[in-house]
Chain A
Amino acid sequence: MQDTQPIHDLTQLDHTRYKSWPFNQDICLTCALCASACPASGIDALDPRSLVRQVGYGLEDALVAERWPWICTMCAKCEHVCPMDIQIADMVRNLRGLRDRQNVPGILQQGLEAALETGNNLRLPQEDFVFIVEDVGEELAEEAGFENFKVALDKDGANLLTTIHNKLVNTHTEDLKHFWKIFHAAGESWTLPTDNWEGTNWGYFTGDDEAMKTMVGRIVANLDKLNITHLLLPE
């Protein structure tokens, strides 16, 4: 009651809140507030109430084969209004995770496998990554006010380790510069690792907790290796 301060201390977080408890779906009152709140209701006949009821009826196999869990973005509008606090977004993610890996739609599984095998979704070799970021860094150094700018790679003891969304070293390299400009102006001691720099974690999308742990573990290993205490993960 007295604890009304915003939670910034991560040690206060209760990680059991990530887990749906068994038979969560069975307390559904069928009120359909979820269906009314969902921005995707009606797309491909998607109906979150129906999804919850189907899980309750044991029609899990049909849902695993359905397109619904993949059209849903897991935005949690549904459970935000649910009077019974059913964790519908997690239910959707669990359904995604139950699908055979070769039937995960689009490029999600290929990207994830690439990340697990090579450290990034693009299978971008380390020398190509270094070439791209240094090239963009040299471009920035040509702008007025950023003459001394240099990309800090694998800097031991930096204040801040940053990760990169793979599209920033692929089709959107200009977007690398915004944070670099801010770091430069702030005089920040920052660095970018030359391996395991991937900031996305597609195991989140495919419902693969083990893959997520591996990706997060590599970021933590980079923090340890470079003796850095702060991680900035703008993803």
Chain B
Amino acid sequence: MLSVFDLLIDYIKTGKIKLDKSRVKDKITYHDPCNYARKAEMRLGYGYYDEPRWILDQCVDNWVEMYPTRDHQLCCGGGGGTLTNGYNKERIQYGRLKMEQIKATGAQMVVTPCHGCHGQLNSIKKEYGMAELEVKYLWELVADCLVI
């Protein structure tokens, strides 16, 4: 078994893939998914905080942290099945703090390595006047920077 982070880092470090850092110009911020970060640390003894940040560093120069971050990161509100349990009003309300956090960074793009977070952030951004915010998977950003 391996994590998406370990795999991407291996590809980059061994030169199997090459990335062009000049391609993506948007200011980016990074969202830690609970299950790869805080919850992985608490339940499995290791949280993936540094690895995605290292990968971001290989893709772009212009990225900033949210506050609070890493193990104190706020949940986006899309976890635990809330995207499919029908409580949509509550789910949108849940995401308010997350959207304020993103807005405060001034980023045009938020990157995350989680299908749930990706779906939630895309689903609620217009509710908070942030329809222009681009939401990308970490591996999508890597694919966008690939030198073929």
Contacts and interface: CB of A to CB of B under 8 A. Distances in A.
Contacts of B98: 39
Given A75-B79, A175-B140, A89 B148 contact: no
Contact of A43 (B94, B119, B142, B148): B94
Interface string B39-75: 1001111100000000000000000000000011011
A175 B118 CA distance: 11
B84 interface: yes
A76 B79 CA distance: 11
B24 interface: no
B81 interface: yes
Nearest to A6: B46
Contacts, number: 149
A217 B115 CA distance: 22
A186 B16 contact: yes
B46 A177 contact: no
A107 B81 CA distance: 10
Size category of the binding interface on chain A? 35 or more
B78 A39 contact: no
Interface string A31-64: 0000000011001100000000000000000000
B43 A144 contact: no
B129 interface: no
Interface stretch (A22-30, A126-134, A227-235): A227-235
A111 B84 contact: yes
A2 interface: no
Interface in A170-198: 175, 177-179, 181-182, 185-188
Interface residues of B, number: 48
Contacts of A185: 16-17, 146, 148
A8 B80 contact: no
Contact of A182 (B8, B78, B115): B8
A178 B7 contact: no
Interface in A213-235: 230-235
Interface in B31-45: 34, 38-39, 42-45
Interface of A: 6-8, 10, 12-14, 17-18, 39-40, 43-44, 67, 70-77, 79-80, 89, 104-108, 111, 144-146, 160, 165, 167, 175, 177-179, 181-182, 185-188, 200, 202, 204-206, 230-235
